[in-house]
Structure 1
């Protein structure tokens, strides 16, 4: 969601100083490999992490059609630990670490809160951050990048369009300058520039695919689960069940036409593979999972 969340400058500066090495590490960009045809699902398991709650006092910003005005709602904010025989991928990084354990914080139309950090939730699963092979974001809004300080040893998978939105070439201004200290924490990470479709483990079981429009390089995730079968995680392509059913585009999206095109491509993929769709901010989709996708 493209809204500013103001935390103290001192806190952000302290966090940056503690976590950022002097020089960034990077690997050469690689082209996307063709997605392998899956004949048998890999032994995947997925843990659903609670990366915060977001109460919205007025949903008008979430529909350019104007039909959400005056409505209120509460969103989940979820991150996903994908466990593959050849490594682990953490999908999305939730609300800022500084909010963990603090009273709910209200700004503009949002009231946000975080009960436990990603690190604490990993510990409950007997996983430490150093065991996270890859990190990837659906997109770079404040509620999806907030705990990057905890996964500094992972390889960051990012497409060029979203990378350029976070680090504009030629010194162009950021869409949200307040996020610069958080974005700076991504720079020291080893990164891999991926294409429009990226097969993370090379067997078709975990595929990142672009669904641009919410942000320039917004992405969604396809999982081939042994029990559930194909599963698609939306990122913020959709925020609510109603948004998907009605094709509603938030007013703050980067590009409405691109978003509508992404809706069509996503739905075609969902139909073609017979996927279960999980809207990451929708409690009705997340709560029944009980913390696990198998």
Structure 2
């Protein structure tokens, strides 16, 4: 939990507020490096064939949002156990190489936190590179789209052996999100989860409003590549192309309405444009 409960005391000394108007919550966003992925061929991330044979380096981020009412971890990266593998991991049959320069738990420890201290847990979706450390945070309240949770614990997912990283969440305290509306995590409009299905059945994005730096929109895997947003590129393995394109439209509208900076989560330049850990965006 954040130690900064007296909101007016957390404001900048140069910040003034109208009489009778409360100071905005002291929301801080930390960008954690939770893995690097080198793709030798990103062709599957585009269904029009235009990127076949193209190599690309990705970052795999985690985001910690610290709010006076609690801490939210958004995405947890690839399994931190990869950090202990000499040379990283090269999944059999996949055109990629994964490395973890520093464990997620070590970065949290630098902020004085252990996994059990995280109050809320949410993922843009349940793929390996976003939910890889989920089991470490089973004591948190898991906020998840109902369709995403159903797919994650479906018979098909069990048969494919996909539950290893997040099996402990099956019986965790869970808030299931349904419908097209946003979920207000802390009840004050500063941190909201928005549905953006298509990549997976219940893919979501996170809007964070900070007092000084303004709004930031963390978009999960809505856009994998730096070209994906401008060209509206859709991966060949998405669950629904139609839903993906509609989600892109809705998220663009959300970004415009909120004035948010859009973060394409796997794009290195978007990640490095945020304050380098352990400094927060606030």
- Alignment TM class, shorter chain as reference: 0.7 to 0.9
Q: How does 1:255-270 map to 2 (within 5 A)?
A: 255-270=240-255
Deviation at 1:149, TM superposition (A): 2.6
Question: Residue 272 of structure 2 aligns with which residue?
Answer: 287
CA distance in 2 between partners of 1:39 and 1:233 (Å): 27
Segments of 5+ residues of structure 1 without an aligned counterpart are 1-37
Q: Would you say 1:235 and 2:217 are equivalent positions? A: no
Deviation at 1:117, TM superposition (A): 2.0
Q: Would you say 1:272 and 2:257 are equivalent positions? A: yes
Segments of 5+ residues of structure 2 without an aligned counterpart are 1-20
Deviation at 1:111, TM superposition (A): 0.6
CA distance in 1 between partners of 2:216 and 2:40 (Å): 31
Deviation at 1:174, TM superposition (A): 1.9
Question: Residue 161 of structure 1 aligns with which residue?
Answer: 147
CA distance in 2 between partners of 1:215 and 1:42 (Å): 32
Question: Residue 23 of structure 1 aligns with which residue?
Answer: none
Deviation at 1:210, TM superposition (A): 0.6
Query: Does the residue aligned with 1:202 lie in a helix, a strand or coil?
Result: coil
* Cα displacement string for residues 49-102 of structure 1 (whole angstroms, at most 9, x for unaligned residues): 111011110011011111111110010000000000000000001101321232
Match among 46, 59, 63 for residue 80 of structure 1 = 63
Deviates more, 1:245-254 or 1:111-120: 111-120
* Cα displacement string for residues 230-264 of structure 1 (whole angstroms, at most 9, x for unaligned residues): 11000111112210111000111111000000000
Give the TM-score, by structure 1 length.
0.83
Q: Would you say 1:187 and 2:175 are equivalent positions? A: no
Is the Cα contact below 8 Å between 2:132 and 2:166 reproduced in 1? no
Q: Would you say 1:127 and 2:113 are equivalent positions? A: yes
Question: Residue 14 of structure 2 aligns with which residue?
Answer: none
* Cα displacement string for residues 260-281 of structure 1 (whole angstroms, at most 9, x for unaligned residues): 0000000011111111001110
Match among 175, 196, 202 for residue 187 of structure 2 = 202
Give the root-mean-square deviation of aligned CA atoms: 1.7
CA distance in 2 between partners of 1:122 and 1:109 (Å): 31
CA distance in 1 between partners of 2:198 and 2:256 (Å): 21
Deviation at 1:178, TM superposition (A): 2.4
Deviation at 1:184, TM superposition (A): 1.6
Give the TM-score, by structure 2 length.
0.86
CA distance in 2 between partners of 1:74 and 1:130 (Å): 32
CA distance in 2 between partners of 1:84 and 1:180 (Å): 30
Q: Would you say 1:106 and 2:95 are equivalent positions? A: no
* Cα displacement string for residues 163-186 of structure 1 (whole angstroms, at most 9, x for unaligned residues): 111112xxx412871212223221
Is the Cα contact below 8 Å between 1:101 and 1:116 reproduced in 2? no
Query: Does the residue aligned with 2:76 lie in a helix, a strand or coil?
Result: coil
Deviation at 1:130, TM superposition (A): 2.0
* Cα displacement string for residues 108-145 of structure 1 (whole angstroms, at most 9, x for unaligned residues): 11111112222111001112222210000100101011
CA distance in 2 between partners of 1:177 and 1:57 (Å): 24
CA distance in 1 between partners of 2:243 and 2:235 (Å): 12
Match among 72, 77, 80 for residue 97 of structure 1 = 80
Query: Does the residue aligned with 2:71 lie in a helix, a strand or coil?
Result: strand
Deviates more, 1:244-253 or 1:185-194: 185-194
